[in-house]
Amino acid sequence: MTRLSVNINKVALIRNSRGNNWPDLIQVAKDCERFGAHGITVHPRPDERHITYADIPLLKEIVTTEFNIEGNPNERFLQLVSQNTPHQCTLVPDAPDALTSDAGWDTIRHKNFLKETISRLKEQGIRVSIFIDPIEEMIEGAKDVGADRIEFYTGPYAHEFFKNKENAIQPFVKCAELAKNIDLGINAGHDLNLDNLSYFATQVTDLLEVSIGHALISDALYYGLHNTIQLYLNQLKP
């Protein structure tokens, strides 16, 4: 079964809006695990508008499933990751002022930087995934720079899903087969939700993990966090 990692950025965003500790981010992370999530994902950004750098050691201490820290690998981020050694670090090529992640790495143009960064993280025993578009050359480049996994940027798939889901999924199916053949693990994330998740998971074989935050937290407003996590887990059943 594909594993579900819950991105709790939006919980932190709500907390920060009032300047106190409500909702309690640490308790929410514990509850997500208790309700069946296989991991916790956070994406600290330079402006700390949701997850703060101070949150990371607190989460590191209590997460008992898989802890995934994602973000743009500037020096401050890399030091944070090194000090809190997650199970997985997902490298994302965000601009400092990006509203959300909206493109994958150019693994050819940034080959040297990625190779050095990935080597640095793997020396600490951290599994490294890189955020990537479904483009064959970029997948091959991910292997060349030493990534353990790729995380498909699934925004385009979600955008096209209701127009023509068969066409929308094809680049991912093709690139997933390539990734499998060159021994890259496959993760996915961005705009996956209760409408489009099951189809993606059934079509993209060997999908190891999905990281979902915005849609899941939004659904929890209606269904409750426990029920929502169960609904997402059901979408991932073979």
Of 66, 70, 151, 209, which is the active-site residue?
A: 70
- The secondary structure of 101-165 as a DSSP string is ------TTTTHHHHHHHHHHHHTTT-EEEEEE-S-HHHHHHHHHTT-SEEEEE-HHHHHHHHHHH
SS3 169: helix
- Cα separation, 198 vs 49, in Å, equals 31
SS3 17: helix
Q: What is the pTM of this model?
A: 0.96
Task: Output the CA–CA distances (angstroms, integers) from residue 116 to 23, 45, 103, 106, 174, in the order listed.
Answer: 38, 21, 21, 15, 28
What is the residue-averaged pLDDT of the chain?
Answer: 96
Task: Tell me the two tokens of residue 163.
Answer: 């127009």
pLDDT at 103: 82
pLDDT at 238: 85
If one counts the domains in the chain, the total is 1
65-99 pLDDT per residue, tens: 999 999 999 999 999 999 999 999 999 998 766 55
57 Cβ contact list (under 8 Å, min separation 6): 83, 84
Of 43, 66, 151, 209, which is the active-site residue?
A: 43
CATH number at residue 52: 3.20.20.70
> Active-site residue 190, yes or no?
yes
pLDDT at 9: 98
> With contact defined as beta carbons under 8 Å apart, do 189 and 157 qualify?
no
> Active-site residue 61, yes or no?
no
User: Quick one: what percent of the chain has pLDDT higher than 90?
Assistant: 95
Of 33, 38, 190, 209, which is the active-site residue?
A: 190
Task: Output the CA–CA distances (angstroms, integers) from residue 142 to 8, 16, 183, in the order listed.
Answer: 27, 35, 11
> Active-site residue 66, yes or no?
no
Range of the domain at 72: 3-235
Each of the 238 residues of the chain gets a pLDDT tens digit; together they read 999 999 999 999 999 999 999 999 999 999 999 999 999 999 999 999 999 999 999 999 999 999 999 999 999 999 999 999 999 999 999 876 655 656 899 999 999 999 999 999 999 999 999 999 999 999 999 999 999 999 999 999 999 999 999 999 999 999 999 999 999 999 999 999 999 999 999 999 899 999 999 999 999 999 999 999 999 999 999 8
- Cα separation, 45 vs 7, in Å, equals 14
- Cα separation, 101 vs 49, in Å, equals 14
